[in-house]
Amino acid sequence: MKSTISVLKADIGSLAGHHMVHPDTIAVATKVLSEGKKQGIINDFYPTFVGDDMEFIISHNRGELDQKVHELVWNALKEAANKAKELGLYAAGQDLLSDSFSGNLKGMGPGIAEMEIEERPSEPFVVFMADKTEPGAFNLPLYKMFADPFNTAGLVIDPALHDGFKFEVLDVYEGESIALNTPEESYDLLALIGTPDRYIVRRIYRKQDNMLAAVVTTERLNLIAGKYVGKDDPAMIVRVQHGLPALGETLEAFTVPYLVAGWMRGSHYGPLMPVSQKDARATRFDGPPRLVGLGFNLKNGRLVGPSDLFDDPAFDEVRRNANIIADYMRRHGPFMPHRLEPQVMEYTTLPKVMERLKGRFTKEEGSKKAKASIYTSTESNE
Ligand code: 13P
Ligand code: 13P
Ligand code: MG
Ligand code: MG
Ligand code: MG
């Protein structure tokens, strides 16, 4: 029988700013999901959070984008948002962009990463969840895990990985996708995914047998809502071992606190810091962007685990480096390249400030109007 792992998540409001999920809101959501488990809609679930994002790791046998599973989660998130309102939590209901449920969670605000798989005799997998950044933030580590032999020794050593992987990349602005094979199309792949705001690695398959290995949430709230409603803090599921990257090869990809877009007001580059569950709270400048990794096994549709993978002194030095980088980036204050580029700032409140200055410019003698506004990303605005 096929099993489905679903990671479904949303910011339903948080304690003391965009800081952390309140335990009472998780408690009411857990009640709803427990009821769904009793009714047999889902087999198992693990509720958790990273910063202000509530996350549910769920196992079931109903396939991807299943109406019943999604409706159950929608109800859990709604109840949690009601609790958030009752407690006066900040930005209660933030990511729930629609009032009524219709079919599945797509386009409603919550992030969705799901994989329907044939369970292996041992089915180890990791759920990575980040706060204060966006789905494209996983492009770099996914490339390292599945295509870089300096990260993943198995690409060289293990014949099962040696043929490489297929990356499915989504262009979020055009709404189209492309599949590229590694190692032979690595440079083409990098030409796209080096622009993580636009091109997002959505799924990865093992080339030799098309086995699904990784799935990422790709929902873009700003593009759904047409305005800034927080960052699309991402999550992903990565299967490991037995012809896939080893657990430690997936974790190795996070040993450089590389810069991601997000952090304060979703408007700044900052280092991604891998942390334990207990440190998964946004603090300094609403960050720095944080990552949690939970390791599970799936057995007969049940979740075994988790192990809190970054709760480990082996990552202390990464965190120290992240803090050094955070200090350095912060010293740029409102200047790029700490602050994001103007095309991306279009979805924040900065254009409103620019609007106020509109009548204040005086024309320069003999100067020509440039073609496009710097605040225009996809269309020219002549
Ligand atoms: P084991 O021999 O402990 O299974 O380890 C194999 C492996 O993949 C280590 O990275
Ligand atoms: P979230 O997407 O995590 O709610 O972040 C919003 C924000 O603006 C933080 O400064
Ligand atoms: Mg928030
Ligand atoms: Mg968040
Ligand atoms: Mg968010």
The reply to whether ligand 1 has any atom less than 6 angstroms from the CB of 246 is yes
Tokens at 363, concatenated: 């024309």
The last residue of one of the domains, among 117, 141, 174, is: 117
- The Å distance, Cα 121 to ligand 2 centre, comes to 40
Looking at all shown ligands, the one closest to residue 246's CA atom is 1
* Domain match, 253 and 380 both: yes
- Tell me the H-state helices in 184-227: 186-193, 221-225
Q: Which residues contact 331 (CB under 8 A, 6 or more apart)?
A: none
The reply to whether ligand 1 has any atom less than 6 angstroms from the CB of 345 is no
The residue nearest atom 7 of ligand 2, judged by CA position, is: 265
The last residue of one of the domains, among 58, 83, 117, is: 117
* Domain match, 247 and 267 both: yes
Distance CA 21, CA 131 (A): 11
* Domain match, 323 and 336 both: yes
pLDDT at 373: 54
The last residue of one of the domains, among 99, 117, 135, is: 117
The residue nearest atom 4 of ligand 2, judged by CA position, is: 230
**Is residue 43 part of an annotated ligand binding site?**
no
Domain span at residue 215 reads 119-382
Radius of gyration, alpha carbons of the chain: 21
Tokens at 372, concatenated: 């496009």
The reply to whether ligand 1 has any atom less than 6 angstroms from the CB of 122 is no
* Domain match, 113 and 123 both: no
Closest by CA to 286, choosing from 270, 303, 299, 298, is: 270
Number of domains in the chain: 2
Q: How many CA atoms lie within 13 A of 80 on its CB side?
A: 39
* Domain match, 212 and 88 both: no
* Domain match, 232 and 367 both: yes
Tokens at 14, concatenated: 């948080």
Is the ipTM value over 0.95, yes or no?
Answer: no
* Domain match, 110 and 187 both: no
Q: Which atom of ligand 2 is nearest to the CA of 286?
A: 10
pLDDT at 222: 82
Instruction: Map tokens 């999604």 to a residue.
Output: 70
Residues recognised as catalytic: 11, 228, 231
Torsional class of 132: left (φ above 0), alpha (ψ -120 to 50), beta (otherwise): left
The reply to whether ligand 1 has any atom less than 6 angstroms from the CB of 237 is no
* Domain match, 180 and 212 both: yes
The reply to whether ligand 1 has any atom less than 6 angstroms from the CB of 248 is yes
- The Å distance, Cα 132 to ligand 4 centre, comes to 5
**Is residue 94 part of an annotated ligand binding site?**
yes
* Domain match, 257 and 295 both: yes
- The Å distance, Cα 87 to ligand 2 centre, comes to 19
Distances (CA, A) of 246 to 145, 154, 161, 238: 9, 8, 11, 10
**Is residue 347 part of an annotated ligand binding site?**
yes
Distance CA 59, CA 18 (A): 28
The reply to whether ligand 2 has any atom less than 6 angstroms from the CB of 265 is yes
pLDDT at 346: 82
pLDDT at 381: 40
Closest by CA to 29, choosing from 3, 15, 1, 8, is: 8
Q: Which atom of ligand 2 is nearest to the CA of 264?
A: 10
The reply to whether ligand 2 has any atom less than 6 angstroms from the CB of 231 is yes
pLDDT at 155: 98
Q: Which residues contact 110 (CB under 8 A, 6 or more apart)?
A: 8, 9, 10, 73, 74, 77, 95, 96, 219
* 307 sits in which H/E element: strand 302-308
Separation of CA 313 from chain center: 24
CATH number of the CATH domain containing 100: 3.30.300
3-state secondary structure of 179: strand
- The Å distance, Cα 140 to ligand 1 centre, comes to 24
- The Å distance, Cα 293 to ligand 5 centre, comes to 18
* Domain match, 62 and 152 both: no
Distance CA 10, CA 184 (A): 37
- The Å distance, Cα 244 to ligand 5 centre, comes to 30
* Domain match, 213 and 113 both: no
* 68 sits in which H/E element: helix 67-86
* Domain match, 93 and 128 both: no
pLDDT at 377: 46
Q: Which atom of ligand 1 is nearest to the CA of 249?
A: 10
Residue to mutate (ligand 2; options 11, 12, 14, 18; most atoms within 8 A of CB) = 18
| Backbone phi and psi for residue 153, each to the nearest 5 degrees, phi listed first | -60, -30
Cis peptide before 306 (omega within 30 of 0): yes
What is the pLDDT tens value at each position of the chain, 382 positions in all? 899 999 999 999 999 999 999 999 999 999 999 999 999 999 999 999 999 999 999 999 999 999 999 999 999 999 999 999 999 999 999 999 998 898 999 999 999 999 999 999 999 999 999 999 999 999 999 999 999 999 999 999 999 999 999 999 999 989 999 999 999 999 999 999 999 999 999 999 999 999 999 999 988 888 788 788 888 999 999 999 999 999 999 999 999 999 999 999 999 999 999 999 999 999 999 999 999 999 999 999 999 999 999 999 999 999 999 999 999 999 999 999 999 999 888 888 899 999 999 999 999 998 887 766 555 544 444 3
What is the arrangement of strands in the sheet containing 2-10, beginning at the earlier edge strand? 44-50, 53-60, 2-10, 111-118
Looking at all shown ligands, the one closest to residue 13's CA atom is 3
